[in-house]
């Protein structure tokens, strides 16, 4: 793909909520609606999404991630749920199983952000990986934690204290051949080296 192709492409995001009970209709899924709302506020360039609601089954998670990247063509895939230490929490294992490369900084930063709120953040096993030309990230399951993880921590004046992980996502997508995306800086400011910033 040329730089021109990437600049004109619409970002395709795969949103995957992983929950036995939500997938069975026992309770309403909150992960996908929270992510849809957040991207509606955060992105200022065109995007669309594909959503999946699936159980905590490693084989199902793996096949869903492969489908979204290889068949559907998602540039970015975000999962919610299944990242703790419980026996049914297998999202990280499934994500690593389909990965071409691991991006450990994403998991490290997610835990750093969450530790500012709860000590049990150290129990989280979220990972970030690359498969082909897509970035796959495991997010928390709760809407509030999803927002904190993506946006980071801000001071009383609204200035970032601890960067959220999404600040690094646009440049990561640039580097792996995805579309060039812009964000609403009042929600999250994308960081790129000056040489990688394109005129609007």
Note the maximum CA span of the chain. 50
- With b for 16 or more beta-carbon neighbours within 10 A and e for fewer, the 43-64 pattern comes to bebebebebbbbebbeebbbeb
- The residue-averaged pLDDT of 165-183 equals 97
Q: Which domain holds residue 26?
A: 3-196
Pick the residue with more confidence: 153 or 183? 183
- The structural domain count of the chain equals 1
- The residue-averaged pLDDT of 48-56 equals 97
Total length of the chain:
200
Range in 23-32, 101-110, 184-193 the model is least confident about: 23-32
Look up the CATH number of the domain holding residue 134: 3.40.980.10
- The residue-averaged pLDDT of 114-127 equals 94
Q: Is the pLDDT of residue 54 over 90?
A: yes
What residues are paired with 78 via a beta bridge?
15, 137
- The residue-averaged pLDDT of 35-56 equals 97
Q: Is the pLDDT of residue 1 over 70?
A: no
| pLDDT tens per residue, range 58-89 | 999 999 999 999 999 999 999 999 999 999 99
The pLDDT score that the predictor gives to residue 8 is 63
| pLDDT tens per residue, range 152-167 | 988 888 777 888 999 9
Helix, strand, coil percent values for the chain (each to nearest 5): 40, 20, 35
Q: How far is CA 113 from CA 76, 79, 149, in A?
A: 21, 18, 6
Q: Is the pLDDT of residue 4 over 50?
A: no
């Amino acid at each position: 793909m040329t730089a021109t192709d990437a600049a004109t492409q619409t970002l395709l995001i795969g949103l995957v909520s992983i929950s036995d009970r939500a997938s069975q209709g026992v309770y309403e899924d909150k992960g996908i609606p929270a992510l849809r709302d957040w991207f509606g506020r955060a992105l200022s360039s065109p995007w669309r999404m594909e959503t999946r609601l699936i159980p905590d089954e490693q084989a199902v998670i793996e096949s869903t991630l492969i489908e979204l990247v290889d068949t559907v063509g998602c540039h970015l895939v975000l999962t919610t749920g299944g990242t703790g230490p419980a026996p049914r929490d297998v999202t990280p294992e499934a994500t690593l199983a389909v990965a071409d490369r691991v991006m450990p900084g994403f998991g490290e930063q997610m835990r750093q952000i969450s530790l500012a709120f709860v000590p049990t953040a150290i129990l989280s096993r979220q990972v970030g990986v690359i498969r082909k030309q897509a970035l796959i990230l495991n997010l928390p399951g709760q809407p509030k934690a999803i927002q904190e993880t993506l946006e980071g921590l801000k001071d009383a004046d609204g200035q970032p204290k601890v960067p959220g992980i999404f600040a690094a996502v646009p440049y990561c997508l640039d580097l792996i051949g995805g579309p060039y995306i812009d964000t609403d800086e009042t929600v999250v400011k994308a960081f790129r080296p000056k040489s990688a910033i394109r005129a609007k």
